[in-house]
């Protein structure tokens, strides 16, 4: 029985834990010759009401995130991962990843950091806990 993964999903947000998770995912993808799918989620609740209502602001934030996630993609490719995709989504990270991204991407495993960079929830690690509890696939939480 093979324990190699074919497709690995990794969530990134620039926190130290997420960067560790990303490095772990790169190593796993190289070892298993797996596809690596990198996802980052634009959290609208981190914006004030005026920013959230401004389509220009939200578009600007999303554009910045899309540029940034391409840097992650390039880093993975440079490290030796042959098949890399990058996705940007919007909403509550745990819910979006579990309910939308996982069914769409169909990964074998989700690799995430234990703490988020932004918002009060980072202190409770609730996004990681949510994903670990509700994910239909195995979750590796890195710290």
Sheet holding 109-113, edge to edge: 84-90, 35-42, 7-11, 109-113, 138-142
Strands (E), the chain: 7-11, 35-42, 84-90, 109-113, 138-142
Total tally of structural domains belonging to the chain: 1
pLDDT band at 124 (very low <50, low <70, confident <90, very high): very low
Report DSSP state, residue 1: -
Task: Find the domain containing 91 and state its range.
Answer: 7-142
Q: Is residue 51's pLDDT more than 60?
A: no
Q: Which residues contact 29 (CB under 8 A, 6 or more apart)?
A: 5, 8, 35, 36, 76, 81, 84
pLDDT digits (tens, 9 = 90+) for 89-103: 988 899 999 999 999
Query: Do the domain assignments include residue 1?
Result: no
Asked whether residue 2 is domain-assigned, the answer is no
32 has pLDDT over 90: yes
pTM score, two decimals? 0.86
- List phi, psi (to 5°) of 35: -75, 140
* CATH of residue 81: 3.40.50.620
pLDDT band of residue 70 (cuts 50, 70, 90) is very high
Q: What is the pLDDT of residue 43?
A: 79
Distance of CA 88 to the CA centre of its chain: 9
Share of the chain above pLDDT 90, in %: 61
């Amino acid at each position: 029985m093979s324990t190699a993964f074919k497709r690995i999903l990794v969530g990134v947000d620039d926190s130290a834990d997420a960067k560790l998770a990303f490095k772990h995912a790169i190593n796993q993808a190289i070892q298993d010759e797996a596809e690596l799918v990198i996802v980052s989620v634009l959290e609208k609740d981190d914006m004030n009401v005026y920013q959230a209502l401004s389509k220009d602001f939200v578009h600007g934030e999303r554009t910045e995130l899309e540029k940034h996630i391409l840097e992650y993609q390039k880093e993975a490719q440079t490290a030796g991962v042959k098949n890399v995709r990058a996705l940007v989504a919007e909403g509550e990270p745990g819910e979006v990843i579990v309910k939308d991204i996982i069914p769409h991407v169909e990964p074998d495993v989700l690799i995430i950091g234990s703490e988020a960079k932004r918002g009060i929830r980072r202190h409770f690690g609730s996004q990681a806990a949510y994903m670990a509890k509700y994910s239909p696939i195995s979750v590796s939480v890195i710290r």
